[in-house]
């Protein structure tokens, strides 16, 4: 088999050690082991440079690969590979054989590298991902607040849809202080909830004791702390983003279902340079937003989406849910049509796929303006006869018998 990289190295990365195997023109010197500290990693770089090694591959094991990448990316061509793509035949599984196997595959060009963005984008990723985790923590705190309210027999969760909103926080603060009556607390909500006030007064007349007020005070303080952290991350993200990235976020904000945070999350995951993805279909596959390819014996089996970038996938599916609620939008009609026969979850993934394709085109062509296809797009694409047959089927399902009379020619 042809040697694509005559001088290369395979690195088996662990928490406290790096097991390195080098291939030199088909020869394999003894495997060396290095520590995982900065000094040991730099010594590894010197050792590989002295042997004339120009490229090294390693598994993407947790976050342990990142120090190696940060210290050696300017000295060597590094390749990060998916562990599932380089599994060995069972029976010989040691650190030494793992590094030897990685080096052999790399030598013959049999490894596909994972996408590792530049350092600035990796730092932006850290910020956006941590912010996403904080927002999830806030949602979990709200769930705990609802649990406390239920134990106190305060049934306001079904009346105030967003307890973390302005009206919800006012009512929760009043409950925690315990100074207002249910009638007075009901007047704290927004005027748009005027019709709900009688039911709200009844729901607030629970059995709130000092124990419940203490629990609510602690949870609200925790929620305030999380909100302050999220705001700090928002400021930091806006500060570190380049002018090109900020402009890209503004363009993505035009897409239904997107907001500034979603645009920042997308830019942090894929960047602004779309040349690394040959097409929108490649990007959707990389994000795990396309059907799986599983066919055998001429039969197509399950087409589940594969595991991929979970951060980008979560951001896009959340945007798809928002786009499906946007009035007079192509994506709302697409979601409604697909959910009838494929279910809501599959429809959301399909809409997320479409949204990511639109984002790809906007980032790839900066001069391209976003234009929604419109809610009547599918009607324009289908013939009049097909629309008539669809309406007839709907009326038949409703139990109606309809007679069609064609106008005279």
pLDDT, averaged across the chain = 89
Q: Please check whether residue 145 is in contact with residue 163, taking contact to mean a CB–CB distance below 8 angstroms.
A: yes
Q: Is 33 left (phi over 0), alpha (psi -120 to 50) or beta?
A: beta
- The pLDDT confidence band at residue 237, using thresholds 50, 70 and 90, is very high
Percent of the chain whose predicted confidence (pLDDT) is above 70: 95
Query: How does residue 90 score in pLDDT terms, banded at 50, 70 and 90?
Result: low
Q: What is the mean pLDDT of residues 325-331?
A: 90
List of E strands, 227-356: 295-296, 299-300
Q: Are 304 and 349 in contact (CB under 8 A)?
A: no
Confidence band, pLDDT 50/70/90 cuts, at residue 22: very high
Q: What is the pLDDT of residues 127-142, one digit of tens each?
A: 999 999 999 999 999 9
Q: Which residues pair with 299 in a beta bridge?
A: 296
The DSSP call for residue 12 is: E
Using pLDDT thresholds of 50, 70 and 90, give the confidence band for residue 23.
Answer: very high
Residue 276 DSSP class: G
Give the rounded percent of residues in the chain with a pLDDT score beyond 90: 65
In sequence order, the 6+-apart residues with CB closer than 8 A to the CB of 216 are: 145, 148, 172, 175, 176
CATH tag for 7-107 (out of 1.20.1250.20, 3.30.420.40, 2.70.98.40, 2.60.40.10)? 3.30.420.40
- Per the CB < 8 A criterion, the answer to whether 338 and 350 are in contact is yes
By the 10 Å C-beta count (0-12 exposed, 13-18 middle, 19+ buried), 27 is classed as exposed
Residue 89: the pLDDT is 59
Please list the alpha-helical segments (H only) found in 108-192. Answer: 119-151, 166-177, 182-186
Domain boundaries defined on the chain: 7-107, 120-240, 243-292+306-364
Average pLDDT over residues 344-367: 94
Hey, what's the torsion of the CAs at 180, 183, 188, 191, to 10 degrees? -170
The CATH number fitting domain 120-240, selected from 3.90.1200, 2.30.29, 1.10.3120, 1.10.287? 1.10.287
Its pTM stands at 0.85
Per-residue pLDDT tens over the stretch 368-382: 889 888 888 877 766
Q: What tens digit of pLDDT does each residue of 160-189 get?
A: 988 999 999 999 999 999 999 999 999 999
Q: Where are the alpha helices (DSSP H) in 178-257?
A: 182-186, 197-204, 210-240, 243-252
From the CA atom positions of the chain, what is the Rg in Å? 28
Residue count (the chain): 409
What is the arithmetic mean of pLDDT over 24-36? 90
- List of E strands, 266-409: 295-296, 299-300
Directed axis angle between helix 260-270 and helix 310-323, to 10°?
150
Question: Predicted confidence band at 62 (pLDDT cuts at 50, 70, 90)?
Answer: confident
Contacts of 218 (CB under 8 A, 6+ apart): none
Q: What is the pLDDT of residue 84?
A: 78
Q: Give the C-alpha separation, 143 to 134, whole Å.
A: 14
Q: Which residues contact 90 (CB under 8 A, 6 or more apart)?
A: none
Query: Within 10 Å of residue 213's Cβ, how many Cβ atoms?
Result: 16
């Amino acid at each position: 088999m042809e040697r694509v990289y005559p001088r290369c190295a395979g690195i088996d990365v662990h928490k406290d050690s790096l097991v390195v195997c080098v291939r030199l023109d088909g020869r394999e010197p003894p495997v060396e082991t290095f520590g995982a500290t900065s000094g040991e990693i730099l010594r590894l770089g010197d050792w590989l440079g002295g042997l004339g090694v120009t490229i090294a591959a390693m598994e993407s094991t947790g976050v342990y690969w990142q120090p190696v990448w940060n210290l050696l990316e300017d000295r060597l061509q590094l390749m990060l590979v998916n562990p599932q793509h380089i599994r060995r035949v069972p029976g010989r599984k040691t650190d030494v054989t793992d590094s030897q196997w990685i080096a052999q595959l790399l030598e013959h060009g049999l490894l596909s590298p994972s996408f590792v963005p530049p350092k600035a984008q990796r730092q932006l990723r850290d910020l956006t991902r941590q912010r996403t985790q904080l927002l999830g923590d806030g949602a979990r705190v709200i769930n705990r607040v609802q649990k406390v309210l239920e134990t106190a027999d305060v049934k306001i969760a079904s009346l105030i849809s967003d307890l973390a909103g302005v009206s919800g926080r006012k009512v929760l603060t009043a409950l925690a202080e315990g100074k207002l009556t249910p009638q007075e607390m009901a007047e704290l909500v927004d005027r748009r909830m005027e019709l709900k006030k009688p039911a709200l007064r009844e729901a607030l007349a629970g059995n709130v004791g000092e124990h419940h007020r203490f629990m609510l005070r602690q949870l609200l303080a925790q929620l305030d702390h999380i909100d302050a952290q999220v705001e700090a991350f928002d400021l930091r993200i806006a500060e570190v983003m380049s002018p090109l990235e900020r402009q890209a976020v503004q363009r993505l904000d035009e897409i239904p279902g997107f907001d500034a945070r979603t645009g920042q999350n997308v830019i942090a995951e894929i960047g602004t340079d779309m040349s690394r993805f040959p097409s929108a279909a490649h990007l959707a596959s990389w994000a795990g937003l396309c059907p799986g390819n599983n066919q055998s014996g001429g039969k197509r089996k399950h087409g589940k989406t594969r595991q991929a970038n979970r951060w980008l996938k979560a951001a896009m599916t959340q945007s798809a849910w928002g786009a499906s609620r946007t009035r007079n939008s192509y994506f709302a009609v697409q979601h409604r049509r697909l959910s009838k026969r494929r279910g809501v979850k599959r429809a959301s993934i399909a809409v997320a796929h479409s949204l990511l394709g639109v984002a790809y085109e906007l980032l790839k062509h900066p001069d391209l303006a976003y234009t929604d296809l419109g809610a009547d797009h599918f009607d324009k694409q289908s013939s009049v006869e097909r629309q008539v047959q669809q309406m007839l089927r709907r009326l038949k399902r409703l139990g109606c018998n309809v007679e069609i009379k064609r106008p005279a020619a």
